[in-house]
Structure 1
Amino acid sequence: MFSTVEVVQVFLARLAAQDAAGIARLCAAAVEWEAPDPAGARWSRGPRTRREVESWFLTLFAAFDLEQLSARQVVVDGGDAAVIGSARWRVRATGDAVQARFASMISVHQGEIEQFWHLPDTLALAGAGA
């Protein structure tokens, strides 16, 4: 069983590799979810299955190409982790680059992600025409 720190490290590595299926495999059967929809401005909330998590990341990676990911700070308290960082994305439709900060909260139980809250800089993304 992976520790919270290990799960977060693997999550970030799979995110950097744009491995949607690998990210989904880190998740519990049901994940409490709060994140903006990568294909629009609305926010997705509530439980998600592994398949829905994979679909969310596939949608994200279809719209944006991740060029750089930097975790400025990772704070772990038991099963909870906060990741503060930035990412440089390339909007696939326009070729525009966008640098966006983010904060993510990840809760891990028995080595699986049970809760994921992702708070990106939506203003930066909107300004890029995403």
Structure 2
Amino acid sequence: MLSTVEVVQVFLARLAAQDAPGIARLCAPTVEWEAPDPNGARWALGPRTRREVESQFLTLFATFGLEQLSVRQVIADGGDAAVIGSARWRVRATEEPVETRFVAVLSVHLGEIEQYWQMPDTLASAVATGAATRTG
């Protein structure tokens, strides 16, 4: 059975590889989920099955191509881990680049992700996909 830190390391490797099925296999049968839709316009909350987790990441990878994933820090305490980092994506439909900062919180029990909270810069994603406009 993998430790919390090992699960996070595998998760990040699969994220960098854009491996949605592999990410889903790291999850418990039901995951408590809090993350934005890929365009950042609305949030998906509540329990998700492995299949729904896979679908969420497949949609993300169909919308954005990941060009760079940088992890600044992983903070682990027992079964909980927070990942602080940034990512450079490219909107597949328009080739628009998107730079985002994020925090992802994963709760791991018996080697499986049971809770996933992602807090990215949703405005940058929404602007890049045309779901919102930046004013200021």
- Look up the equivalent residue of 1:64 and give its one-letter code: F
Asked if the contact 2:40–2:125 (Cα under 8 Å) also holds between the matched residues in 1, the reply is no
**Structure 1 segments of 4 or more deviating over 6 A?**
none
Partner of 1:76: 76
Rounded to whole Å, the distance in 1 between the matches of 2:126 and 2:42 is 12
- Decide whether the 8 Å contact of 1:39 with 1:59 is kept in 2: no
What amino acid is the match of 1:80?
D
Cα-Cα RMSD = 1.0
TM-score, length basis structure 1: 0.97
Name the structure 2 match of 1:60: 60
Give the unaligned 5+ runs of structure 1. none
Mapping of 1:16-35 within 5 angstroms?
A: 16-35=16-35
Q: CA deviation at 1:37?
A: 1.0
- Partners of 2:109 and 2:129 in 1: CA distance: 37
| C-alpha distance in 2 between matches for 1:129 and 1:63 | 8
1:115 corresponds to: 115
Go from structure 1 to structure 2 and tell me whether the alpha carbon gap of 1:20 and 1:7 turns closer, same or farther (over 3 Å shift). same
Local SS of the residue matching 1:128: helix
- The separation in 1 between residues aligned to 2:39 and 2:67, in whole angstroms, is 19
The answer for the alignment partner of 1:9 in structure 2 is: 9
- How far does the alpha carbon of each residue in 1:48-85 deviate from its partner, in whole angstroms, 9 at most, with x for none? 00000000000000000000001101000000000000
Structure 1, residues 71-130: CA drift from partner, whole Å, max 9, x if none? 101000000000000000000010011110000000000000000000110122123235
Residues of 2 paired with 1:126 and 1:59: CA distance?
15
Matched positions, count: 130
Q: Secondary structure at the match of 2:13?
A: helix
In structure 2, the gaps of 5 or more residues are 131-136
| Paired-residue identity, % | 77
